[in-house]
Structure 1
C-alpha cells in the first residue's frame, strides 16, 4: 500500500427499497425470567478484541430484503460472505467477527469489530472540526473531537491498515480502496462508500 491510496467511509445504504432494518443488539435472556437485556454497543468502537460471553440477538423490524452489510445502531453486521472475503484478503488481524443471531435468519451473521484505531484525521481538510473546550464542562473529553463534518484523513498516517476507525471520531468505519474494490467486485449488498 502506498500513501496515495484512497480511503472510504463505509455506510449502510438506507435507501434500498424494501430493505430490512436491524435493531438494537440484545443479550439473550438466559435464565428464563425477564426480558432480553440491552447490549453495550460502544465497546465495538474501541479497536480491541472482545470476549462476548452471552449470545447476541438482533431483532429485525420491519422485515424485508436482508443485506450482506447492514448496521445496527452504527455497528456493522455482516453476512458470512463478507467474512469469507475478508479472510481471502488476509485481514484476519484487522477485524474480529462475532457471531450473532438475526431474527428470521438461519444463515450465519456476524458483528464486524474493527481492531485498529488510527490517529489520522486531517483537520485542515475537513469541512469543520469542533473540539471539547474547558467551557463545555466535560474535563473527561476536553481536547477531543466534539464533531467532525466532511471528514478527511491523512493517508500518510494510516500505514498498512485496510479497515479501522479514526481516533477521536470512533463512530466512523473506514476501509482502503483495496477493500472497497473487493467488496464491490464480490457484489456485497447494502454498502455505500464515501471517499474521505
Structure 2
C-alpha cells in the first residue's frame, strides 16, 4: 500500500482517470484530468468530486503518496529503541503494584481507570522516551505523546495504543509522563530475509516459549502484512516495538529525545 508523507507546502497534481457515460444506450469510455492541490498532509484518504461537461465524476484516493508532486515509495518501518547514549539520562524503575509484563501483552480488561506510579531508579536528566523497569515499559513525555495525535490507533480511545498517566514518585519532574500501552500485535517477520533463532520445544529454560523468536541477528518485516498500523509489537517477539516512518518523522519534528530508529526494511542489518 502506498501512503502519504508530510509536505511542507501545498502541492499541485493532476489526477487522470477513466470514466464512462451513457449516451443513447451506449457506454462511452472517456479520460478526464482533474487538477487538484493538496494542502500539507500526512496519511490521507479523500474523495475528489467534480462536474465535467454536466457529468459528476467522483474519485476516491486512498493511501497514495505524493512527494514534491510525484509518486513515492512504500511506507518504511523501524524498530524503536531507547537511546542509551544520552548523557546523564535517568533510569526508571518498574511500575508499582501491577505485573509489568501485562504492558507488553495486555490481557482482556487489563486497563483500569486511574494513574500509575513508578520511581526513578537512577537519577538523571529527563528524556521524552524511556523504558521503565524489568519489562521495558515505554514511558513518553507529554510532548512525545502529543506528537502522535491524529494517528488512528492513538485517537481511538482504548484501542490499539493507550496512554495512561504515570506519576514519578521520588523526583520532581518538569513534564507530565504517560505509559504507552501497545495492544496491537502483528505477525509480520519476513523469515526469508531475516536471520533469527527460535525457542525449541525441548528448551531447558523456556519450553513454554517454543516457536517464539529468541533473538534476531537481522530483523526484516513483511510490510504487506502490516496494513495501516503505525505502532505495534512484533507477535512472538513482544519486546520489539515497531513504528512507521510517520511516527519517526513526528518524533524528529517535535524534537523528542531518547528514541532511536533502526530500519527493519531490509536495507540494513538490525539485531535485537
Question: Using the alignment, how far apart are the partners of 1:109 and 1:5 within structure 2?
Answer: 29
Matched, 1:176 2:239: no
Greater share of residues in helix = 1
More deviation, 54-63/170-179: 54-63
Match of 2:163 among 93, 97, 117: 97
Q: Who is 1:111 aligned against?
A: 179
Deviation, structure 1 residue 115: 2.1
Q: Who is 1:80 aligned against?
A: 142
Deviation, structure 1 residue 57: 1.8
Q: Who is 1:195 aligned against?
A: 263
Give the count of matched residue pairs.
Answer: 184
Q: Who is 2:8 aligned against?
A: none
Question: Using the alignment, how far apart are the partners of 2:115 and 2:84 within structure 1?
Answer: 27
Deviations 1:118-153 (A, max 9, x none): 0101112223x2222233265533222232232211
Question: Using the alignment, how far apart are the partners of 1:150 and 1:72 within structure 2?
Answer: 25
Deviation, structure 1 residue 51: 1.7
Where does the alignment leave 5 or more consecutive residues of structure 1 unmatched?
Answer: 28-38
Question: Using the alignment, how far apart are the partners of 1:14 and 1:22 within structure 2?
Answer: 12
Greater share of residues in strand = 2
Question: What is the SS of the residue equivalent to 2:250?
Answer: helix
1:128-147 matches, cutoff 5 A: 129-136=196-203, 140-147=208-215
Judging changes above 3 Å, is the alpha-carbon distance between structure 1 residues 53 and 179 closer, same or farther for their aligned structure 2 residues?
A: closer
Where does the alignment leave 5 or more consecutive residues of structure 2 unmatched?
Answer: 3-72, 265-272
8 Å Cα contact 2:103-2:181 kept in structure 1: yes
TM-score, normalised with respect to structure 1: 0.84
